[in-house]
Amino acid sequence: MSGQTQRGRPNVLITGTPGTGKTTTSEMVAQELGFRHINVGEWVREKNLHSGWNAEFDCFDIDEDKVVDALEDVMAEGGCVVDHHGCDFFPERWFDLVIVLQANNTELYDRLQKRGYTAKKISENVECEIMMVVMEEASESYRPEIVKPMSSDNTDDLERNVATIVEWVRGMMAAAAM
């Protein structure tokens, strides 16, 4: 029996370098499906699932064990769209579909600059995208057939990605009901 059958509704992970469109895409997918959107970064801040502020990297040091413990029951229910830039510390069994959003360098640079990131943080993230760090992490952490890269360069991409993800999830639910 697959994890999804036990859960009833699938769980989707939407990952990618910061700025590729995870939160925007996740909100739209969750809204269309009536699923719960879980922004892991917000959970980390609101529930103190970290070991303090990392001044060098300008972010909280996530306590991965605390994050997994905090999410376990919610994930067991199914029907979650989880949004996070990392993906290798979640239990593999949590997810039925893993989307890796990708954006081109200039677009990503502009989005992160608008967000007010420092030049150092922008170049680290753009480099991470060029090196396909998150794609590699996802490929090493999940079965290849559930890992789907998607370009997220413009609003046409966004709309198409949301429609495709929703269609895949509905297909999984229909197959599980048969």
Residue whose C-beta lies closest to ligand DAT: 21
User: Considering beta carbons, is residue 7 or 37 the nearer one to ligand DAT?
Assistant: 37
Q: Does 21 bind ligand DAT (CB under 6 A)?
A: yes
Is 18 among the residues that bind ligand DAT (CB under 6 A)? yes
Smallest gap from Cβ 6 to ligand DAT, in A, equals: 29
Q: Is 5 in the site for ligand DAT (CB under 6 A)?
A: no
82 near ligand DAT (CB under 6 A): no
Asked if residue 15 binds ligand DAT (CB under 6 A), the reply is no
**Residue 21 DSSP class:** S
73 CB contacts (<8 Å, ≥6 apart)? Answer: none
Site string for ligand DAT, 98-127 (x = CB under 6 A): -------------x----------------
Are the CB atoms for 29 and 12 separated by under 8 Å? yes
State residue 2 phi and psi, 5-degree precision. -80, 165
- Angle at which helix 133-141 crosses helix 119-130, to 10 degrees, equals 50
Cα-to-chain-centroid distance, residue 38: 9
Site stretch for ligand DAT (CB under 6 A), options 54-62, 73-81, 129-137, 147-155: 147-155
Phi, psi (rounded to 5 degrees) for 51: -110, 25
By three-state DSSP, how is residue 10 classified?
coil
Residue 107 CB, shortest distance to ligand DAT, in Å, is 7
d(Cα 119, Cα 136) in Å, to the nearest integer?
25
Binding site for ligand DAT (CB under 6 A): 16, 18-24, 111, 152, 154-155, 157-158
